[in-house]
């Protein structure tokens, strides 16, 4: 088996001439060829479920059979298992092709059921570039993905740049992408051609992706644990990116915001084990995107969750004016978030942060850091004490002090989420449930404070009345806070 290591980058059509003029490409000879590939699966989409791609590709007069496994895709960097050899169309001899016996036998058992699902048809222009002691194949693909759906034939434009490592260190891929990015906006993408083909065939966008639990080996260094957590956060952010940019479903925006919030929380949780400059740089770098996504989310919550319950309190004219205002403001906030997410700055941050993550070395961090488990016990104890201190001293009717309690609860919740695999689930259940209850109540209150802030700039007719209603709701929620926070302070902790 060979491992394919590549950076996949989206590029806009108007940026292609500038890319081609870059000295690193203009100075090298290039080749062009048309590549037509057919992707196969069973009628029940068994390969899709297994995250395995099987394709036949016509290259001139040859046909190549290729099998690819899912591998990992982070920050545009993909590393996948790949088997490829010349074949006769329709002759799926996986036993001869795949040297993983278990996978080969599974694929061979499915061979008789494989049917075409979608095709890719594109022209590839490629260069072989030597950069930073590495040989890198640069491929510019332009064409289409075609699929037959229930509604008939459908096509999707295809335009992307692939940097595939042939020899040398993977870091050279990021270095080359940075150099080429001086001429064109190159946006790292996680979705493969196969991923996009299935979405096109199914006729619907993939669902919003929630955060996945990360398993951390208890004996590894906290810096290595941070890298695992941060890469998982990046994966969630990128998995929801297309949905934020091209769908009005609020869930994509919410999950992208969660991913970024978790990433920034991970920087704070693991800060004692990381280089100070790394934490300072990336804590600041992600702030603008976080604020933009947060503002869009506040508008969406106000418009879709809170406003419907407030509108009946207004007369028809005032209600219509407020609904129009909320829609216009919400659309503007979402457009701003989309613009920020699709911006060149964000693309450069994704590439640079992924590169920096992969370059982190244990000896770069804080001195004399223990292995993960004892380090985690100490870190969680610090977070827990900070939360208890704020609960004891906060005036829960003061919005600023209450918000600080919410922040401390989130700090502990995220730290617990990141480090949960170090303890049996039953030892975490009471504390986790108490944190969920507290965060839910504090979150409901925060949503109403945000709504009051938004209403302050809304059309005045009727908004003062709604401010009073929201204030009354806050008082009602605040009455439940002492009991909820008491349960949180009394919940057993797993690190004692």
What's 265-314 look like in SS3?
HHHHHCHHHCCHHHHHHHHHHCHHHHHHHHHHHHHHHHHHHHHHHHHHHC
> Rounded to the nearest 10 degrees, how much is the dihedral formed by the CA atoms of 212, 215, 216, 217?
-170
Closest-CA residue to 395 (of 490, 298, 482): 482
CATH of domain 212-369: 1.40.20.10
DSSP 192-256: -HHHHHHHHHHTSPPPPPPP------TTS-HHHHHHHHHHHHHHHHHHHHHHHHH---HHHHHHH
Residue 444 tokens read as: 């409901």
| Other CB atoms within 10 Å distance of the CB of residue 388 | 15
Q: What is the pLDDT of residue 149?
A: 85
Q: For residues 223 and 366, is the Cβ–Cβ distance under 8 A? A: no
Q: What is the pLDDT of residue 356?
A: 96
Q: What is the pLDDT of residue 58?
A: 93
Q: What is the pLDDT of residue 462?
A: 76
Fold of 370-496: CHAD domain (1.40.20)
Q: What is the pLDDT of residue 189?
A: 92
For residue 320, what are the contacts with CB-CB under 8 A and spacing of at least 6? none
Render pLDDT for 482-491 as a digit per residue (tens, 0 to 9): 999 999 999 9
pTM (2 decimals)?
Answer: 0.91
Residue written as token pair 């108490």: 434
Q: For residues 278 and 431, is the Cβ–Cβ distance under 8 A? A: no
For residue 202, what are the contacts with CB-CB under 8 A and spacing of at least 6? 149
Q: For residues 257 and 294, is the Cβ–Cβ distance under 8 A? A: yes
Residues in the chain predicted with pLDDT less than 70, given as ranges, are: 1, 364-369
Domain boundaries, the chain: 2-204, 212-369, 370-496
Q: What is the pLDDT of residue 365?
A: 54
| Other CB atoms within 10 Å distance of the CB of residue 99 | 10
Hey, do 212-369 and 370-496 end up sharing a CATH topology, with the first three levels equal? yes
Which superfamily, per CATH, for 2-204? Hypothetical Protein Pfu-838710-001 (2.40.320.10)
Q: For residues 135 and 168, is the Cβ–Cβ distance under 8 A? A: yes
């Amino acid at each position: 088996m060979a491992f394919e290591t590549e950076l996949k980058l989206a590029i806009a059509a108007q940026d292609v001439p500038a890319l081609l003029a870059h000295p690193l490409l203009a100075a090298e000879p290039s080749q062009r060829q048309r590549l037509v590939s057919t992707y196969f699966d069973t009628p029940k989409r068994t390969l899709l479920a297994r995250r395995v791609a099987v394709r036949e590709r016509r290259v001139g007069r040859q046909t190549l059979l290729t099998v690819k496994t899912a591998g990992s895709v982070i920050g545009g960097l993909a590393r996948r298992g790949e088997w490829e050899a010349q074949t006769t169309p329709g002759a799926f001899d996986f036993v001869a092709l795949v040297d993983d016996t278990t996978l080969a036998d599974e694929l061979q058992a499915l061979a008789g059921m494989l049917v075409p699902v979608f095709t890719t048809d594109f022209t590839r222009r490629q260069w072989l570039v030597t950069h930073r002691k590495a040989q890198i194949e640069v491929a510019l693909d332009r064409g289409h993905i075609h699929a037959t759906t229930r509604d008939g034939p459908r096509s999707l434009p295809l335009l992307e740049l692939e940097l595939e490592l042939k020899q040398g260190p993977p870091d050279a891929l990021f270095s080359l992408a940075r150099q080429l990015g001086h001429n064109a906006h190159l946006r790292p993408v996680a979705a493969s051609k196969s991923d996009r083909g299935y979405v096109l065939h199914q006729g619907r966008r993939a669902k919003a992706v929630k955060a996945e639990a990360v398993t951390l080996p208890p004996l590894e260094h906290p810096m290595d644990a941070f890298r695992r957590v941060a890469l998982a956060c990046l994966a969630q952010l990128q998995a929801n990116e297309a949905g934020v940019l091209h769908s009005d479903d609020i869930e994509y925006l919410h999950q992208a915001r969660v991913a970024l919030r978790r990433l920034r929380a991970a920087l704070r949780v693991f800060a004692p084990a990381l280089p100070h400059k790394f934490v300072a740089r990336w804590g600041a770098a992600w702030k603008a995107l976080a604020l933009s996504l947060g503002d869009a989310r506040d508008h969406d919550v106000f418009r879709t969750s809170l406003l419907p319950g407030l509108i009946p309190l207004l007369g028809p004219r005032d209600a219509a004016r407020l609904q129009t205002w909320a829609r216009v403001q919400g659309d503007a906030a979402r457009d701003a978030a989309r613009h920020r997410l699709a911006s060149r700055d964000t693309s450069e941050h994704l590439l640079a942060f992924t590169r920096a993550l992969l370059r982190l070395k244990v000896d770069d961090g804080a001195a004399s850091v223990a292995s993960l488990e004892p380090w985690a016990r100490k870190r969680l104890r610090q977070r827990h004490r900070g939360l208890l201190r704020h609960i004891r001293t906060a005036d829960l009717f003061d919005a600023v002090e209450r918000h600080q309690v919410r922040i401390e609860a989130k700090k502990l919740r995220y730290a617990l989420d990141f480090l949960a695999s170090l303890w049996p689930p039953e030892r975490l259940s009471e504390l986790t449930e108490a944190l969920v209850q507290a965060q839910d109540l504090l979150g409901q209150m925060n949503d109403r404070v945000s709504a009051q802030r938004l209403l302050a700039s809304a059309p005045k007719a009727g908004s003062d009345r709604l401010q009073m209603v929201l204030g009354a709701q806050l008082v009602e929620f605040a009455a439940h806070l002492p009991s909820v926070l008491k349960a949180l302070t009394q919940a057993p902790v797993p690190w004692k």
